[in-house]
Structure 1
Amino acid sequence: MRLTSFGSIAILCVAGIAGRAEAQPAGAPNERPSQCRAIASLMPQATFAQFSGGERGLFQNPQGDQSVRITYVTHATFLIESPQGVVAATDFAGYAGPAVPDIVTMNKAHSSHNTPYPDPAIQHVLPGWNPDGDGPVHHAVTVGDMFVRNVSTDIRSWGGAMEADGNSIFIFEVAGLCIGHLGHLHHTLTDEDYAAIGRLDVLMVPVDGGMTMSQAGMGEITERLHSRIVLPMHRFRGPIDRFLEKLPDFAVEWPREDSFTVSVKTLPDRPTVIVLPGV
């Protein structure tokens, strides 16, 4: 199946993949609409095509020249800073630099991905699992010009069994960009998962090759999402050759700085893996 329309409407294409069968929630009735999943919301076997310039799915971005700063901190922690100065830290384990973030996301896998004692000054602490243990957690938080939501996934316990809804993929929607962090992902994604995620312009992906998934498996997910910028993380200093082998059409850059700015207008035309220093 292929669904096509004109102007700024995205193209949806079929792509099959094995994995979890559970559908992801489409959001609460009064929840802010997601520009990243506006078309493919829960449509099975759909993936977003990527556009350059100002074509961003259903919505044009009137402030497409506004830049977002992304900084690699450590392990699976990035800082995402919006044009209005809202700061989010991913997989926060208690440290994200000297400044206190406005938003932190956490995941359950290990203590390097969460902290039970976040700074009380942090406005929004978003665990990727349900602390009450009853079904998936659901986040939809707006702070200034940043909107943060999650897509729940399962996680592998210490004994090897799969625990439902123990991890979240967090999506940060800011300045017309869709930025996704896979967290401590332990399994392939279903078509419903991809539809709930929607378009991702920037993807943060673990490439350790064992504690999460194989590098080849992560490469397959990355290829399907086809983000314009891919940021490896959770590497443990080992080679990432098997991950890159799955992405022959992607450029690869090894910059000297641990941060960069990006806007809708400056996204690379060719999908690019950027390996930041320290990864």
Structure 2
Amino acid sequence: MLRLAIFALLALTGVAFAEGRRDSACLAMSEGEARVIPAAFGAPLAEETVRIRFLGHASFALETPGGKAAVTDYTGYIGNPDVVPDVVTMNIAHDTHYTDTPDPRIPLVLRGWGELGQPARIDEEIGDLRVRNVTSDLRGPFGEGGRKDGNSIFIFEVAGLCIGHLGHLHQVLSDAQHAAIGRLDVVMVPVDGGFTMDADSMASVVNRFRARLVLPMHWFSADRLVAFVKRMEAGFEVDVASGPEVEISLDSLPRRPTILVLEPALIP
């Protein structure tokens, strides 16, 4: 039903559709052919291929070719209780983006805020997956009383891909922050239009990254999602998936930057 609603709204607005520590790979440029492949979470992955499943709100599950699994903005529930991620990230201490009681079976729990006013500094490897962060500032209610370094942008490096989750982004990023993040092939972006940033500011962030694949999240309603797509359509292809998942590799990234709308669903 959600997919049909999104299609209908996009059609009404005239949107067109188309098809040691390892060194970081995120400073290099990538080129590839246009191909994104829906898949079933948990099925065997081809070499150098990553699976991404949209669980809802700001949570995604990532599965690596080496069999490692990560969940972003982990709140304690991902669906199937028998699925235990190898690593979870929580970008902000907000009840829909974190939990104080993570599953004790999870080997690596990464909180994106530091202690005693210090920024979180995260750079971890588990199997074939590297996870690191770059912090950004939070504004307070009504734009005042914000918290420096209160949000973490998490970057997942695997199979030559650089996958970024912008978290609860409240600021247009500086040159230094962009440099610290590096290349992003895939970016998960909040498109609510106000709870994080206004639509124009968020669009400027996305346009500067120029990632090959943009996965909208944190959109609350089909109307807000469609408003973001309409704002971006001049520079991006648009595709609406038939389910919650996509498989990608460095070679299969779309040639032209593409917004891919995934339909949220927990892990069965």
* Secondary structure in structure 1 of the residue aligned to 2:32: coil
Maintained 8 Å contact 2:112/2:120: yes
In the TM superposition, residue 134 of structure 1 has moved relative to its aligned partner by: 3.1
Q: C-alpha displacement at 1:33, in angstroms?
A: 2.2
Aligned positions of 1:74-85 closer than 5 A: 74-85=56-67
Q: Please give the alpha-carbon distance, in whole angstroms, between the structure 2 residues aligned to 1:72 and 1:251.
A: 19
Aligned residues of 1:207 and 1:234 also touching (Cα < 8 A): yes
How far did 1:66 drift?
A: 1.8
Choose from 197, 204, 207 the match for 2:188: 204
Code of the residue aligned with 1:52 in structure 2: it is G
Q: Over residues 55-88 of structure 1, what are the superposed CA-to-partner deviations in whole Å (9 max), with x where a residue is unaligned?
A: xxxxxxxxx9521000000100000100011000
Where structure 2 has 5 or more consecutive residues not aligned to the other structure, the ranges are 1-19, 34-45
Contact 2:139 2:145 in 1 (8 A): yes
TM-superposed CA distance for 1:172, in Å, is: 0.2
Instruction: Tell me the residue number matched to 1:52.
Output: 32
- Report what 1:258 is aligned to: 244
Letter in 2 for 1:77: S
1:1-279 correspondence runs (5 A): 31-37=21-27, 50-52=30-32, 66-98=48-80, 99-130=83-114, 132-158=115-141, 160-237=144-221, 238-244=223-229, 245-278=231-264
Aligned partners of 2:91 and 2:153 also within 8 Å: no
After TM superposition, where is structure 1 displaced by more than 4 Å over at least 4 residues in a row?
Answer: none
Q: Which runs of 5+ in 1 are unaligned?
A: 1-29, 40-48, 54-63
Conserved 8 A contact 1:202-1:227: yes
Compute the TM-score of the two structures, normalised by the length of structure 1: 0.77
In the superposition, relative to structure 1, how do residues 267 and 76 fare at CA in structure 2: closer, same or farther (>3 Å)? same
- Percent identity over the alignment is 47
* Letter paired with 1:85: G
Answer 1 or 2: which has greater helix percent. Answer: 2
- Across the two proteins, how many residue pairs are aligned to each other? 229
Matched to 1:161, the amino acid is G
Greater RCO, CA 8 A, separation 6+: 2
TM-score by length of 2: 0.81
